[in-house]
Copies of this chain bind each other. A is one copy, B any other.
Amino acid sequence: MESVLTEAVALLDEAGAPALTFRALAQRLGGGVASIYWYVASKEELLDRATDHVVGAVLADIEDLPGSDDPIDDLRAMAVTLFDAIVHRPWLGAYFMRNTDVQGNSLRLYERLGQQTLRLDLTAHQRFHAVSAIVGVVVGTAVDMGQEPPEEVLDGAVSREEYLGRFAQTWRELDPAEFPFVHEIVDEFDGHDDVDQFRSALELTLTGLRLQAGA
């Protein structure tokens, strides 16, 4: 069972979600396709368990964070840890937080985030929404960034900078009267850092939260 999940995660890491097929997995395990059905009932369950497996590692990282006297700072550190994990495993964004009942580690992660809000002066209603908002920012930004870049970028034939640059170039050719905003930010877009973008989005939410808590 353990090796089934390990190999499944390895396939996902190496070539993304489409690479995880029962046939590819069976080959790596040195067995037949049908064998896997003794461990999981369906592909959906396989993905759920594989996701929970890696979320367990993220949870361990989050539990190892030092912690401070400011719950907002602690929330920030946790969110960044989670985001980093998704950046390194783009397939994770799509499956994370599905089936919280089955995926025990996602629930524990949710609990850990929520515990920080218990230290803030908020209503239960506000706490519930605060954690949803933070998870939303992480997943939203991660999904936005996790889209498979074209094959040429994966090949290494074209660098990320070149790819962004080409994009930026088509934007520069748009009519400035019709697309004033695109022209305003095209130099920011060109060569931008994903982590920086995430940090800013997170900071807006945390600022709003801090104001709400009067802290």
Contacts and interface: CB of A to CB of B under 8 A. Distances in A.
Nearest to A138: B140
Interface residues of A, number: 59
A159 interface: no
A147 interface: yes
Nearest to A117: B181
A41 interface: no
Contacts of A107: 179, 182
Interface stretch (A19-27, A55-63, A198-206): A198-206
Interface string A178-201: 111110110111001000110011
A138 B144 CA distance: 11
A197 B136 CA distance: 10
Contact of A98 (B97, B147, B192, B208): B147
Identical subunits present: 2
Instruction: Select the residue from A129, A167, A170, A212 with max chain B CB neighbours within 10 A.
Output: A129
Nearest to A132: B197
Given A118-B184, A185-B127, A209 B201 contact: no
A128 B189 contact: yes
Interface stretch (A8-16, A29-37, A108-116): A108-116
Interface string A91-109: 0001001101100000100
A54 interface: no
Contacts of A137: 133, 136-137, 140, 201, 205
18 contacts: A110-B182, A113-B181, A114-B181, A114-B182, A115-B180, A127-B184, A127-B188, A128-B185, A128-B188, A129-B200, A130-B200, A132-B197, A133-B201, A135-B140, A135-B144, A136-B140, A136-B201, A203-B208
